Amino acid sequence: MKASTVALLRRFLEGGGIVIAADRAPDRVDGALSVEAAALARLPGWHPAADAAGQLALLSAFAAPRLRLAGDEAAAPSGIAHLRRELGDGSAFYFFANSRSARFDGTATLRGRRAELWNPLDGSATALDLSPDDAGSLTLDLALNASGSLLLRVYEEAPAALERSDARDAASTDPDRADTTASAVSAAAPVAQRLQPLQRRSDEAARRPVALSAPEIVPERDNVLPILHCDLYAGSKQYFGLHTVHAARFAFEHHGFENNPWDNAVQFKRRLLDREAAFDARSGITADYYFHVDSPDDVGPVRLELERPSCYRIAVNGIPVEAAPGTSRLDRHMGAADITRALRPGRNTIRLEGRPFSIRMELEPLYLFGQFAVAPNADGGWRLAANQPLGLGAWRDQGYPFYSDAVRYRHTFTLPDDASRVFMSAPSWHGSVISVTVDGEHAGLLGLERGDELGLTSLVRPGAVHTLDCRLSGTFRNLLGPHFDASKPRNIAWPGAWKRSPLEGPPPAEDYDLLSYGLLAPIEIWTIPR
């Protein structure tokens, strides 16, 4: 130990400081044997701890934690993370998140004298009925669904007579919304007992199912096929069946770059863009993308979307097409072109020819949109086929393997005359969120916290016919990838995941890593009679 460190520790301990030592006091100071450092251990504030458990016990004894979590397990709960941010007025925000695949029920003890539950979706803040203990701490029940979260604001000052927010009033007048909506506060039990209730499958014996009509299932947008592979011609070099991530790299390497500069370099001022002047008429690339069509008449209109269309001369089966920049909804640098008239049965070719070369010619996948089905192709990859109606089950298995938008599942139902409380459930589905409306009125969201039930009591009338609309949203994961990372990453992606794509392809359809988005089991509605 350095002599300066020994001196600082001695002054700290003599002034009443506490040191938790993970090992014995050192016997050398500045490399030489000395009793000065060992003498530190004889001062009152020196506390040795041989292991992490002992150190944690000492820390808890000398510095009471701002937050203590407890669950059903004997050990501290794992997978429950929190973020604390202190404000200038002394209050603090606590954001809790459950990263586990199962619901967490436990307690949280926080330093403070009053607390509010904040709803990030509508901005409401609900004062919680909590009383501090003698140590100035609040203890509340913490219920978090799998992937669930919760936002609190905790204040140091004593509780005052506070008005309840509109969210609390809504919870008290709609009992099943308090029991089933993850962001609501329970009216049936004190807030201190149940912050985020989502009482699932309660009163099982009393439940009575309500018959639903057969679903009307409608995709909101066109289907899509990404074309991920191409043949590349750069000077005298030819590459066949390259994944575009590798084709882009080879194209830039051919023109003097070490790699794709937009992927592996940082531009200083205009250093990359200024290299544009170095490319003459002899430079450039040609890329051929292939796709298969069963029958143009059955497939219907097809729209091509691509990046930087102004950089290329574009032809489909030898027929020139124009794609105006800024006409794609995917990206403002992309353009769209109607290629319906150029389609033919069997293999079709989209040629991009760019001469001279441009720093902006980063080869990327092409995208085909239309009212068609996407089916596996016998020679690898996929083909465009006649569209088929969607049913229950994964979209990828019904001709929509790359679809990234929303699908509406619409039912009608008649509520029994003796219905008292009414719930709906989506027992099995995969996507980002389900937005639920009843007769056009918003009922809530499923999926923000992986809850699978919503209360509908305030939106329905006994004896009436109602329309239930469930809008299931996918994500861009199946459309944009990564499609071929052997580790099959979930909930995370990084550039290397695309670079692990096979150099050549396209591979068989079954080799694509595609998630099973869709409604996998029927929607359910049930009532608890009066």
In tens, the pLDDT along 19-33 reads 999 888 888 889 898
CA distance 497 to 97: 26
- Identify whether the C-beta of residue 301 lies closer than 8 Å to the C-beta of residue 338: yes
**Exposure on the CB side of residue 159, measured as CA atoms within 13 A:** 17
* Cβ atoms < 10 Å from Cβ of 10: 16
CA distance 349 to 362: 19
Confidence band of 201 (pLDDT split at 50, 70, 90) = very low
Give the CA distances from residue 263 to residues 106, 380, 477, 522, in Å, rounded to whole numbers and listed in that order. 45, 28, 20, 44
Tokens of 342: 């150029």
Using DSSP, state whether 522 is helix, strand or coil.
coil
Beta strands in 101-210 (DSSP E): 104-111, 114-118, 125-127, 137-144, 149-155, 208-210
- Identify whether the C-beta of residue 323 lies closer than 8 Å to the C-beta of residue 366: no
CA distance 81 to 264: 33
- At 422, which amino acid appears? V
pLDDT at 445 over 80: yes
What's residue 193's pLDDT? 34
What's residue 203's pLDDT? 58
Which spans in 378-508 are helix H?
A: 477-480, 495-499
CA distance 238 to 288: 11
Q: Which element (helix H / strand E) includes 232?
A: strand 229-234
pLDDT at 76 over 70: no
What's residue 450's pLDDT? 57
Confidence band of 163 (pLDDT split at 50, 70, 90) = very low
**Backbone φ, ψ for residue 334 (5° rounding):** -100, 160
CA distance 310 to 287: 15
Q: Is 456 exposed, middle or buried (0-12, 13-18, 19+ CB in 10 A)?
A: buried
Read off the pLDDT of residues 142-154 as tens digits, 9 standing for 90 and up.
Answer: 888 777 888 999 9
The number of helix segments (H) and strand segments (E) in the chain equals 10, 36
